[in-house]
Amino acid sequence: MTPEINARRGYYTELATQRLAPLWESLADLVPDAPRSRCRPELWRYAQLRPFIERAGRLISAAEAERRVLVLENPGYPGGHRVTNTLYAGFQLLLPGEAAAPHRHSQSAMRFVIEGEGAYTAVDGVRHYMHRGDLILTPAWCWHDHANPSDAPMIWLDALDIPIVADLAAGFRENDDEMPRPVEHDAPLRSTAVECAYPYQQARAALESMASRGEIDSCHGVIRPYVNPVNGGSVLPTMSASLQYFRTGIRTQTYRSTASTTFVVVEGAGSTQVGGQRFEWAENDVFVVPSWFPSWHEVERDAVLFSYSDRALQEKLGLWREQRGG
Ligand code: GTQ
């Protein structure tokens, strides 16, 4: 070691005692040339995960759990309860006759329905009955509870902005033991009133009519963002969501964006190449494409993918970027 390096080492150790650090040792990490994230590409196969959901149903009641959810853990954040660097995903199970008590919080949520039919989420006292592929919103600070009056287990994917709200240290929650919750309109934190349910049948039909008109994107196939009907913007302030359709045999062009994205396979089968890995997916599988990782899809059997990301938030901050091809 040269005397200079040695002197610096000692200096750094002393700096730390003053709660100071030399920027020049970490400038490239702090201000990188291009996005760097701990978020890793990952795939969760539903067939593999489904028995664990079933076991949760035998080990704990919905009442005891409050929310009986298996959280998807991105391997870049062990124990972090993050599916990506910014967002959360979990499979929630409600057995026949069960209910999950009302609460509200500053985190925004979406439910994407995976299995079952006839359970509901009540948002500010309005019941939204679930069918496979439906998207149901719970905007920030809206009261919500879930119940399953049907005779089959109900499973849906919870998508929340929990990590964003945690990083901002801006989270609040209130519980209410009364059920159901009456409609009320005075919550100061609530986001603009939005349509809360997007039935799958309608979304699917819209994709089909786009396909028949030949509206096919080389990177995304036939794609339709879910929008807030009041202002045409994203469904929630922090999260964007889309549904896309690909014909058998399609191989999309390479694409990347700064929005780390979580995909749910609604129909069909295929594979996605991301960061040197190839994920082969089928119905109800979930996979992650992190920020700025190039990816493309190859479709084996007519496929529909639901996806959600932090694009809405990034656009508000002027940060969102994409690159097509390459
Ligand atoms: O259903 O309200 O997966 O509050 C995580 C937090 C679900 C819910 C989650 C929640 C909920």
Ligand 1 pocket, residue 158 CB under 6 Å? yes
State the Rg of the chain over Cα. Answer: 22
pLDDT tens-digit map of 22-32:
999 999 999 99
Ligand 1 center to 112 CA (angstroms): 13
Ligand 1 pocket, residue 99 CB under 6 Å? no
In this structure, which amino acid lies at residue 248? Answer: T
Burial code of 182-204, b = ≥16 C-beta within 10 A, e = fewer?
eeeeeeeebbeebebbbbbeebb
Which position has the higher pLDDT, 267 or 180?
Answer: 267
Q: How far apart are CA 40 and CA 291, in angstroms?
A: 9
Ligand 1 pocket, residue 163 CB under 6 Å? no
Ligand 1 pocket, residue 161 CB under 6 Å? no
Provide the 3-class DSSP secondary structure of residue 50. helix
pLDDT tens-digit map of 209-264:
999 999 999 999 999 999 998 899 999 999 999 999 999 999 999 999 999 999 99
Ligand 1 center to 157 CA (angstroms): 10
Hey, whose CA ends up nearest to atom 1 of ligand 1?
Answer: 67
In ligand 1, the atom with minimum distance to the C-alpha of 173 is: 4
Ligand 1 center to 158 CA (angstroms): 7
Mutate to test the pocket of ligand 1, among 69, 114, 165, 174 (most ligand atoms within 8 A of CB): 69
Q: How far apart are CA 201 and CA 272, in angstroms?
A: 25
Ligand 1 pocket, residue 86 CB under 6 Å? no
Hey, whose CA ends up nearest to atom 11 of ligand 1?
Answer: 67
In ligand 1, the atom with minimum distance to the C-alpha of 158 is: 3
pLDDT tens-digit map of 92-130:
999 999 999 999 999 999 999 999 999 999 999 999 999
pLDDT tens-digit map of 129-155:
999 999 999 999 999 999 999 999 999
Ligand 1 pocket, residue 244 CB under 6 Å? no
Q: Which two tokens stand for residue 270?
A: 């295929």
Q: How far apart are CA 221 and CA 163, in angstroms?
A: 30
Residue 52 has pLDDT above 60, yes or no: yes
Ligand 1 pocket, residue 95 CB under 6 Å? no
Rounded to 5 degrees, what angle do the CA atoms 296, 299, 304 make?
95
